[in-house]
Homo-oligomer: A and B are copies of this chain.
């Protein structure tokens, strides 16, 4: 390979600037504030002590501006949607229980009041929510329905005689479960329930229901349980909520998307129950986006610990030398950490871009339904990829620190335990990737049904790819690189960005194309069986779509970098992201004639070469995350 030489030593500052992106100023401010505060690591605390500590820290947070960022300025909020997500991300460098508790209070509970409620709710509740005078829950999931929330079974039946809704848990499996803030601190809950009025079901709506009295006891008719100790996040008081014919005023309905008049007449700006519910869910997307961002932060922290340890720890002598080898000098160790590091940069850039899009869409005066749906698909896909990447990387980082990595004082155990649930909460990853694929297939069906499914599968899939992935202005760089890309079939082409981009695009379009063809029989036959038999293909379609989105975000981020050394380093890191991704999936590229055996073997060799080339920059690359040092103060870095 004949690649441009790498700089000897790169300054992390310009890398940090690229990583920080659009909200760099806010991030700098939060970083400074975090450095001043002493958030204690919750090591060795029992569940109750940890919960108490987290509530104390939450109250401390409430004295800052961050929790207000995402709310309406008319009620004291900061009106900065993207900034609020970024603040959660920064918080995720510390105890994740605090991040999740803050997310429940201000993101989910406060977010639901703001986005599903109307002026009467905003006026009354937003300030106490921001100030933490009203602690609340987001009570959606039930024991029996977690992924399929459209079919949850709690009911809210309107009684015109008293102008009240009766909230009821009709069976044990309809108990609200895993609800943050429920077991200990919450006074009120946004309860999602099937609205029934005039004997007719209107689908799922959200209601503000008091769950605790001023003295802390459960409100009449409300049963509160405690989920008890968990794999992690023990500072969050998850619990269960069940309602025995609990009456709330008609105004308790968060009525932005559907309302009930005094006489029980139902009205909504959206006709279909299903579409209305998914529109409601769609507005609540910040939670899912924040989880992806927090997963990135936790991954960065784990990598920073493992890379620094890898630079300090020595084991085994090189023949003929007295000093032992620094373990990051071992290729196997580089292979464990460096592709994961490259992927973390990649996923972070995609996340940063996603937050920008979220910010624009949610700050706009008009709802752009098409962009909103695209945002939802992207958020779903990125959440799945970011959280699985977190689980795998934190696990690898733990193992890379050996026995030391298993001790609580060295921080990796909590990172592992706390992030574990990220793969299944705020949407189960497997379900989310299917949403991505289904979303795409749906739009294709809408556009091309009348052309006849049989004849047009190929055409359709191609159109679909073109349609969903409309390149924004920022993406001119992608087109330019693709057009300029090499068509040579030699080894050097592996490092040609245009070739790489085309390879990812082509894989996505082929996977979707063949999926559409495979699902075609679903139109007449047993749709469930056809879809189910292709479920591995469906998941792969979601996955390769996200891979392409992530790569394009990486490429766009490099374009934003104005420091030549940092650019050179990011370029090489992007190569490692691309080639390790291809390596992991090279069976597909081989099976589909996209790579020859020779090229495929060259990919493996290139990953090795890139690991060795990037190895001297590993610590710079984690320093650039600019994680406040207080969160990296682990004894293993002193004793290695």
Q: Which B residues touch A527, using CB under 8 A? A: 319
User: Contact between B172 and A639 (Cβ–Cβ < 8 Å)?
Assistant: yes
Nearest Cβ on chain B to A191's Cβ, whole angstroms = 18
Q: Which B residues touch A8, using CB under 8 A? A: none
Given A430-B332, A535-B330, A597-B593, A47 and B44 contact (CB-CB distance below 8 Å): yes
* Most chain B CB within a 10 A radius of its CB, from A318, A398, A403, A417: A403
Q: Which of A139-147, A360-368, A498-506, A571-579 is near enough to bind chain B?
A: A139-147
Complex alpha-carbon distance, A601 and B591, angstroms: 7
Please tell me which one of the listed residues B143, B315, B592 contacts residue A597 in the complex, with CB atoms under 8 A apart.
Answer: B592
User: Contact between A145 and B406 (Cβ–Cβ < 8 Å)?
Assistant: no
Q: Main secondary structure on chain A at its contact with chain B?
A: helix
A399 an interface residue at 8 Å Cβ cutoff?
yes
- Which of A400-422 touch B at CB < 8 Å? 402-403, 405-409, 412-413, 416-417, 420-421
A335 an interface residue at 8 Å Cβ cutoff?
yes
User: Contact between A424 and B408 (Cβ–Cβ < 8 Å)?
Assistant: no
Count identical subunits in the complex: 2
Please tell me which one of the listed residues B177, B324, B405, B528 contacts residue A424 in the complex, with CB atoms under 8 A apart.
Answer: B405
Q: Which B residues touch A612, using CB under 8 A? A: 533
- Which of A304-347 touch B at CB < 8 Å? 315-319, 324-325, 329-333, 335-336
Nearest Cβ on chain B to A395's Cβ, whole angstroms = 7
A590 an interface residue at 8 Å Cβ cutoff?
yes
Nearest Cβ on chain B to A605's Cβ, whole angstroms = 10
A402 nearest CB neighbor, chain B only? B424
Complex alpha-carbon distance, A416 and B329, angstroms: 30
User: Contact between A424 and B403 (Cβ–Cβ < 8 Å)?
Assistant: yes
Q: Which of A103-111, A223-231, A267-275 is near enough to bind chain B?
A: A223-231
Q: Which B residues touch A533, using CB under 8 A? A: 331, 608, 612
Complex alpha-carbon distance, A329 and B529, angstroms: 10
User: Contact between A230 and B406 (Cβ–Cβ < 8 Å)?
Assistant: yes
User: Contact between A528 and B44 (Cβ–Cβ < 8 Å)?
Assistant: no
Please tell me which one of the listed residues B318, B398, B416, B604 contacts residue A528 in the complex, with CB atoms under 8 A apart.
Answer: B318
Q: Which B residues touch A317, using CB under 8 A? A: 148, 151
Nearest Cβ on chain B to A44's Cβ, whole angstroms = 5
A425 an interface residue at 8 Å Cβ cutoff?
yes
Q: Which B residues touch A141, using CB under 8 A? A: 403
Please tell me which one of the listed residues B332, B403, B409, B539 contacts residue A332 in the complex, with CB atoms under 8 A apart.
Answer: B539
User: Contact between B590 and A600 (Cβ–Cβ < 8 Å)?
Assistant: yes
A536 an interface residue at 8 Å Cβ cutoff?
yes
User: Contact between B406 and A148 (Cβ–Cβ < 8 Å)?
Assistant: no
Q: Which B residues touch A177, using CB under 8 A? A: 403
Please tell me which one of the listed residues B332, B408, B587 contacts residue A586 in the complex, with CB atoms under 8 A apart.
Answer: B587
Given A228-B44, A423-B399, A593-B597, A536 and B178 contact (CB-CB distance below 8 Å): no
A469 an interface residue at 8 Å Cβ cutoff?
no
A173 an interface residue at 8 Å Cβ cutoff?
yes
User: Contact between A403 and B178 (Cβ–Cβ < 8 Å)?
Assistant: yes
Q: Mark A384-407, 1 if CB is under 8 A from B, else 0.
A: 000000010001001100110111
A534 nearest CB neighbor, chain B only? B331
- Which of A199-254 touch B at CB < 8 Å? 227-232
Complex alpha-carbon distance, A421 and B402, angstroms: 8
Q: Which B residues touch A227, using CB under 8 A? A: 407
A-B contact pairs, 27 of them (CB 8 A): A43-B229, A46-B46, A147-B315, A148-B324, A151-B324, A172-B639, A178-B403, A229-B408, A230-B406, A231-B398, A231-B417, A319-B527, A330-B535, A331-B536, A332-B430, A332-B434, A332-B539, A335-B535, A335-B536, A405-B424, A406-B420, A406-B421, A586-B587, A587-B600, A590-B600, A591-B597, A591-B601
5 cross-chain pairs, A with B, having the tightest CB-CB distances, nearest first:
A231-B413, A229-B408, A587-B587, A331-B535, A590-B590
A sample of 16 more A-B contacts (CB under 8 A), given A146-B403, A318-B528, A319-B528, is A43-B229, A146-B315, A148-B317, A229-B413, A230-B408, A231-B412, A231-B413, A319-B527, A331-B533, A331-B534, A333-B430, A395-B395, A395-B420, A399-B428, A402-B424, A403-B421
